[in-house]
Structure 1
Amino acid sequence: MERKCGVRVRGHARGGASAAGARPPDRGRATLPRVVRAGRARPPATGALGTGPAPDLVVPPRGGRASPRARDPATRPGSPAHAALAAARPRGRAARPLGPRGRVRRGARVETQVTRLTLERVTFRYPATEAPALEDVSLEVRGGEVVALVGSVGAGASTLLLVAGDLAPRVVGGRLEGRVSFDGEGPRAIVLPAPWTQLSGMAFTVWDEVAFGPANLGLPRDEISRQVDQAVARLDLEALTSRDPTTLSGGELQRVIVAGILAMRPALLLLDEPTAELDPVGARTLWKLVRTLAGEGTAIVMATSELDALPAITDRVVWLERGRVAATGPAALLASDALVVANMGTTVAAVWRAAGLPPPYPLTVAHAAQRWERR
């Protein structure tokens, strides 16, 4: 027994009357796209924000603007970009999430040998500013690698993610120098700290919201259903699939946005303060998921202030200061004297130094206990 589960469109998103009681998601603010898909460059779309050629796919702007994918031959003229999801999805529980005990997708080991993201001597300035937000930044990220960007406010971590995601300067404007390249079979996708800015505004249920991205990728209907159910299970959203996304809490909505990203199977995942709206339990679950995704071959770059979580997650730390790379190294860098003095070290390392104990400082509580026993 199956039921129809196409993505239902809010009336105001297609020019008609809104559903009774529906709250318009567009509040007059511009929104950043959720994902950019690699492909051949196309002429810039009329009315597009920023300058330069438009990518093959931008998904999904908030407020009902049509995606460039609407021009795809698979979508009939005049139909919304998500019309590909007219298929029925099966009843029943979602597929079991792929966790540490789950099956890693075939080819993950090969993917870890591929450089997904390359920034070569990148300098970026926002519009109407002379001081660069990024200056002479070079970085390579391979498949299966987790790279953490740390730095004080204004250091350039969020800007680096926008540049890596092809949103700066294409969407936000500005001037870019240097070379940025991406190589991956899947798209590159970004999760921003404010989840409501990435809500499509075109779906009545959480399930349809998560399906919005895969539908815009033009995937087969059964594949959309399979990937959405898996992403929903990974973020523990089964109980919320029939809820209206606009009625969710900040933490719930953050998980929905992450699920929508994962349903598109990105080759490069960019996370900007991904736990900002989550409680401690939700944050721990997300960090475990990050490590699982890396084990499957996904390249991950994240900016976070949750420094104590990084030793168990990240393969490499990049310390940014005033838009430049000040230092890079393994997670142990967070226990170095320079980062501790700059308030960029772990809590244990900071406490050890404040107590007047000699370096090297311990990175974690377990390291501190070992050091203390040897005194």
Structure 2
Amino acid sequence: MSYISIKDLSYQYPIGKKQALKTINLEIEKGKLYTIIGENGSGKTTFCHILRGFIPYFHKGELKGTVSIDGKDLFDYEIEELAIKVGYVFQNPFTQISGIKDTVFEEIAYGLENLGVEREEITARVNEVMDLLGIQYLREKHPIHLSGGQKQRVVFASIIVMEPDILVIDEPTSQLDPHGTEEIFKIINIMKQKGKTIILVEHKMELIAEFSDFVMVLQDGNLVMQGKTEEILTDERLLSYVGALPQYALLGLEMIKHNLSIKKIPITERQSEEIINNWLRQKNLVS
């Protein structure tokens, strides 16, 4: 049974001349990681805004179709209720740091304070999340003085501490270096292992291949491809939509074009090593 069900969803911004999303139909399973890919202007952030309730509660415009979460129509949720149900991580961590707290601990606790959670529970939950994400060493630092990667981890902590069932994450690594990107995907994987339903906007193909369960491709507001990660990331049509495939998938496709028999096209480094080693053994080139 679908956890999030989207039927005939279309949306046009108040001053937009065309629809940002066009007749989207999608079923999202609970506890899975769905990645949305597409070029700039394809509708990725608009889609995220709808799931979070920014549309229509903040952005108005013309919205058609239905969205239900956990069997309840999205628009039957109170905005406060939806804020607890769905955690949202912005692309730029600088815009999500409150700017009014003097320490990382206080910043992470801020949302719980607004909900009126008891002080002892706040302390316990914040400490638990900081331990989980490995950021206790930032505890007394001022949030404004952190690096971009550190800010992004604090933002994640401030969302996770609210214990949402769903995480909507909009290009969290776009402004991070490789180390910062690795740290963020460690957090995303932790949340996946904890059974959270995750909708992730991302463009780094190798990371999508490693962690994602399903991939959705948007182009000009249309959902042009959707399916299991291995199906989408080995489909050459993706090159015409986003101009990229995982490097390991490209290797597999080249092997097939050169009549080298392989059982499947790899999308990760591990799969690539297995397939190449199997092929070499078939040819008696390795023992």
TM-score (norm 2): 0.83
1:361 CA displacement = 3.9
Which residue matches 1:145? Answer: 32
> Paired residue for 1:339?
238
* TM-score normalised over the length of structure 1: 0.64
Query: Matched residue of 1:179: which SS?
Result: strand
How far off its partner does 1:233 sit?
A: 2.0
CA distance in 1, matches of 2:183, 2:144: 23
Paired residue type of 2:69: F
- Identity across aligned pairs (percent)? 28
CA distance in 1, matches of 2:153, 2:112: 17
* 2:162 matches 1:258: no
CA-to-aligned-CA distance 1:16-73 (integer Å, 9 cap, x gap): xxxxxxxxxxxxxxxxxxxxxxxxxxxxxxxxxxxxxxxxxxxxxxxxxxxxxxxxxx
Residue type matched to 1:367 in 2? Q
CA distance in 2, matches of 1:173, 1:222: 39
Relative to its length, the structure with more helix (as a share) is 2
Alpha-carbon offset, residue 266 of structure 1: 0.7
Distance 1:172 1:348 in 2: 40
User: In structure 2, what is the equivalent of residue 86 of structure 1?
Assistant: none
Paired with 1:263 and 1:178, the residues of 2 have a C-alpha distance of: 32
- Match of residue 223 from structure 1: 121
Asked if residue 367 in structure 1 is aligned to residue 286 in structure 2, the reply is no
Change in 2 beyond 3 A, CA 1:116/1:220: farther
2: CA distance, partners of 1:118 / 1:198: 28
The answer as to 2:190 corresponding to 1:292 is yes
Work out whether 1:125 is the aligned partner of 2:12: yes
Q: Contact 1:340 / 1:346 at 8 angstroms: preserved in 2?
A: no
Which residue of structure 2 aligns with residue 191 of structure 1? 89
Matched residues in 1 for 2:276 and 2:251: separation? Answer: 13
> Secondary structure of 1:168's match?
helix
Shift of 1:274: 1.4
Deviates more, 1:240-249 or 1:360-369: 360-369
Aligned pairs for 1:36-55 (under 5 A) are none
* Distance (Å, rounded) in 2 between the aligned partners of 1:372 and 1:153: 35
- Aligned-CA RMSD value: 2.3
Q: Which residue of 1 aligns with 2:58?
A: 171
- Say if 2:30 and 2:196, in contact at 8 Å, map to a contact too: yes
Decide whether the 8 Å contact of 2:210 with 2:268 is kept in 1. Answer: no
Q: Distance in 1 between matches of 2:195 and 2:157?
A: 17
Q: How far 1:153 sits from its partner (Å)? A: 1.5
Gaps of 5+ in 1: 1-112
Task: Name the aligned partner's letter for residue 138 of structure 1.
Answer: N
The verdict on how the C-alpha distance between 1:351 and 1:173 changes in structure 2, with shifts beyond 3 A counting, is farther
Structure 2 stretches lacking a partner, 5+ long: 73-80, 281-287
Say if 1:142 and 1:224 are closer, same or farther in 2 by CA, change over 3 A: farther
Q: What is the match of residue 317 of structure 1?
A: 215
Q: How many residues align?
A: 262
- Cα 1:133–1:209 change in 2 (3 A) is same
